[in-house]
């Protein structure tokens, strides 16, 4: 597949994530849109890693060029899992204190 | 138009439609279920690119663990009613315009900018071949070149676990 198709797909997914973060007020859905953006980036990293691998694969079938991209995706998933556990704990705390998960209530942190 | 192309377009359409439904759905439970569908589509893309380890990890970690955590939290808060207050229509329109501007400007860079399009011209992602996505190759690299970040990520998990317990504790 031409690499441009993957770039456009990942950009579209990332933009949908951005729109979701800006449009919705439910903190859980905002959080889910952040996950969507992370996944768009992961998809693009894997596509680029396969692009670089394809060049080396033509001459040497056993080369491991491009493996760093896939390991980056693995570490992004690790960080995302840690982030979700802390973030959902914060949302649960927010709900316990305000009985709502509306992000607009968070401007109370000002005073 | 062989089977790989058909699968690519099908999975892309599935991912985009489900991603839009995540944003559009009023009910948070439906949003979560649509997001799980997005993750399945992305896992399908990984399998097409022969990144089998990442496909399985994506299913287990994202679709399996993280989304179930989201479902638990939504059900714990009893939010599955459609009670979300809406932003006013101008705020929504501004958000859509901002996201659309990002999409259009970055696509324009990929499509039109001379240096970028020359760099990307004729480049293809290797489909269904290559061994870097297999668990053996990835595991060897993970435990040789990347062993320090791998161990540090375990500390990250420990701190995230302690953080979640401390934040969530009733006091």
Beta-carbon contacts of B34 under 8 Å, excluding residues fewer than 6 positions away, are B18, B19, B21, B22, B25
The Cα–Cα gap between B37 and B19 comes to 9
Contact A71, B148 (CB under 8 A): no
- CATH code for position B50: 1.20.120.1200
Work out the pLDDT band at A110, boundaries 50, 70, 90. low
- For chain B, what is the domain count? 3
**Which tops the pLDDT comparison, B98 or B82?**
B98
Residue B79 pLDDT > 80: no
Name the closest residue on chain A to residue B118, using Cα atoms. Answer: A4
A12 closest CA partner among B112, B23, B99: B99
Regarding whether B92 and B72 lie in a shared domain, the answer is: no
Regarding whether B100 and B164 lie in a shared domain, the answer is: no
Regarding whether B60 and B2 lie in a shared domain, the answer is: yes
Do the Cβ atoms of B123 and A50 come within 8 Å? no
Regarding whether B75 and B108 lie in a shared domain, the answer is: no
Regarding whether B76 and B14 lie in a shared domain, the answer is: yes
Q: Which of A39, A61, A77 sits opposite B57 (nearest CB)?
A: A77
Do the Cβ atoms of A39 and B142 come within 8 Å? no
Would you state the pLDDT for residue B84? 62
pLDDT tens, position by position, B42-59? 999 999 998 899 999 999
Regarding whether B63 and B32 lie in a shared domain, the answer is: yes
Regarding whether B3 and B75 lie in a shared domain, the answer is: yes
Q: Which of A12, A29, A89 sits opposite B16 (nearest CB)?
A: A12
CA distances from A36 to A19, A42, B160 (A): 11, 10, 21
Name the closest residue on chain B to residue A23, using Cα atoms. Answer: B92
Beta-carbon contacts of A70 under 8 Å, excluding residues fewer than 6 positions away, are A45, A46, A49, B51, B53, B54, B132, B133, B138
Regarding whether B146 and B118 lie in a shared domain, the answer is: no
pLDDT tens, position by position, A47-85? 999 998 888 888 887 788 888 899 999 999 999 999 999
Regarding whether B59 and B8 lie in a shared domain, the answer is: yes
Judged by a CB distance cut-off of 8 A, whether residue A92 touches chain B is: yes
> What is the second-level CATH architecture of the domain A3-106?
Orthogonal Bundle (1.10)
Q: Which domain holds residue B74?
A: 1-80
Q: Which one of B80, B101, B125 terminates a domain?
A: B80
Do the Cβ atoms of B66 and A62 come within 8 Å? no
Work out the pLDDT band at A35, boundaries 50, 70, 90. very high
Contact A10, A47 (CB under 8 A): yes
Domain spans of chain A, in order of start: 3-106
């Amino acid at each position: 597949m031409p690499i441009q198709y993957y770039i456009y797909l990942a950009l579209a997914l990332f933009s949908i994530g951005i729109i979701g973060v800006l449009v919705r007020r439910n903190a859980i859905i905002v959080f889910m849109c952040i996950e969507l953006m992370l996944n768009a980036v992961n998809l693009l990293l894997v596509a680029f890693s396969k692009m670089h691998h394809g060049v080396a694969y033509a001459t040497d079938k056993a080369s491991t060029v491009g493996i760093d991209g896939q390991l980056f995706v693995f570490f992004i998933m690790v960080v995302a899992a840690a982030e979700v556990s802390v973030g959902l704990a914060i949302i649960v705390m927010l709900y316990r204190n305000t009985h709502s998960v509306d992000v607009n209530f968070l401007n109370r942190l000002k005073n | 138009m062989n089977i790989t192309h058909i699968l690519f377009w099908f999975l892309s359409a599935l991912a985009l439609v489900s991603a839009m439904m995540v944003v559009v759905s009023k009910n948070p439970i439906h949003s979560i279920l649509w997001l799980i569908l997005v993750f399945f589509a992305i896992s399908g893309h990984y399998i097409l690119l022969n990144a089998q380890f990442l496909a399985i990890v994506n299913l287990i970690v994202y679709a399996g663990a993280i989304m179930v955590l989201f479902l638990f939290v939504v059900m714990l808060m009893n939010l599955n009613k459609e009670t979300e207050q809406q932003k006013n229509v101008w705020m929504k329109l501004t958000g859509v315009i901002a996201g659309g501007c990002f999409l259009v400007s970055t696509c324009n860079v990929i499509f039109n900018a001379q240096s970028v399009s020359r760099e990307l011209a004729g480049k293809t992602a290797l489909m269904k071949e290559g061994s870097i996505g297999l668990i053996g190759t990835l595991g060897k690299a993970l435990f040789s070149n990347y062993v320090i970040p791998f161990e540090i990520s375990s500390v990250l998990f420990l701190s995230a676990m302690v953080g979640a317990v401390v934040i969530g504790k009733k006091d």
